[in-house]
Amino acid sequence: MATVVTAVESVLEARGIEKSYRRGVWPVARRQDVLRGVDLALRPGEVVGLVGENGSGKSTLMKILVGALRPDAGTVAVSGRLGYCPQEPVFYERLTCDEHFELFGRAYKMSAEDERRSRRNLYAALGFERYAGTRADQLSGGTLAKLNLGLALLGDPEVLLLDEPYAGFDWDTYLKFWDLVAGRRQAGRSVLIISHFVTDEGRFDRIVQLRDGRAGPR
Ligand SMILES: Nc1ncnc2c1ncn2[C@@H]1O[C@H](COP(=O)(O)OP(=O)(O)OP(=O)(O)O)[C@@H](O)[C@H]1O
């Protein structure tokens, strides 16, 4: 009798994910199959890159993994908390960075003390404490991206999903970002990152490529 042994359980497991979009309007509407049965698993402490041509469905898959979009078929199982950083920063124009952290800390049900400690660490790790009292609508694009990443990390999620997180980062911040990711890996936390830069490949434990609607090794 064959015995199947799973050494380490996945913290996130997607199976058979399918998604198509309708394009155009009747009578010339047609379906575009974007995902045609994607399987993807993340193990604890794994840092995985998600790559693929423009339009291959990376953002669509990530939205499905976080539950922001319903797949046409397939299942997603997540164990633990999930942090998500969308491609376009989501923020409240009139709230300061500090107020964003307070708000998200409450949403994550963190104690005020834990929230403040985590916030301080994130300001230091990403270097934007000087904007703590600045309203979001007065922040630069790069600082907004830091705030977005900080909010995704505030509750120390088991799984972190990032959609092109460093497009607006300067070099110093880019390096700080990878230090932060290395810290996640060491703490046994998992990170899935949509990346466009081939030069980043060495920084991942594994690269998953989306091609023709399916996920495979690069
Ligand atoms: N809401 C939508 N309605 C219709 N089509 C969509 C929608 N969202 C995405 N698409 C289409 O689905 C395909 C996959 O898009 P998606 O944004 O997931 O790709 P991507 O790999 O993230 O692309 P990029 O590298 O350019 O960011 C594209 O052809 C896109 O035009």
Given ligand 1 and candidates 30, 32, 65, 163, which is best to mutate, with the most ligand atoms within 8 Å of its CB? 32
Q: Does residue 21's CB lie within 6 angstroms of at least one atom of ligand 1?
A: yes
Is residue 124 predicted with pLDDT exceeding 50? yes
**Domain architecture of the chain: domains with CATH:** 45-72+81-217 (3.40.50.300)
- Whether the ipTM is more than 0.95: the answer is yes
Is residue 6 predicted with pLDDT exceeding 50? no
Q: Does residue 60's CB lie within 6 angstroms of at least one atom of ligand 1?
A: yes
Q: Does residue 57's CB lie within 6 angstroms of at least one atom of ligand 1?
A: yes
The per-residue pLDDT for range 30-66, each reduced to its tens digit, is 889 999 999 999 999 999 999 999 999 999 999 999 9
Q: pTM higher than 0.95, yes or no?
A: no
**pLDDT score at 3:** 44
Distances (CA, A) of 119 to 48, 96, 128, 193, 217: 25, 13, 11, 22, 36
* 65 vs 59: CA distance, rounded Å: 10
**pLDDT score at 182:** 95
Distance of CA 154 to the CA centre of its chain: 13
Assign 215 a pLDDT band (cuts: 50, 70, 90).
very high
> What tokens appear for 57 in the block?
């469905």
Alpha helix positions (H), 67-170: 97-107, 112-126, 141-153
11 with 159: CB under 8 angstroms? yes
35 CA distance to ligand 1 centroid (A)? 10
Assign 202 a pLDDT band (cuts: 50, 70, 90).
confident
| 173-177-178-181 Cα dihedral, nearest 10 degrees | 170
**pLDDT score at 8:** 60
199 CA distance to ligand 1 centroid (A)? 24
Phi and psi dihedrals of 168, rounded to 5?
Answer: -100, 10
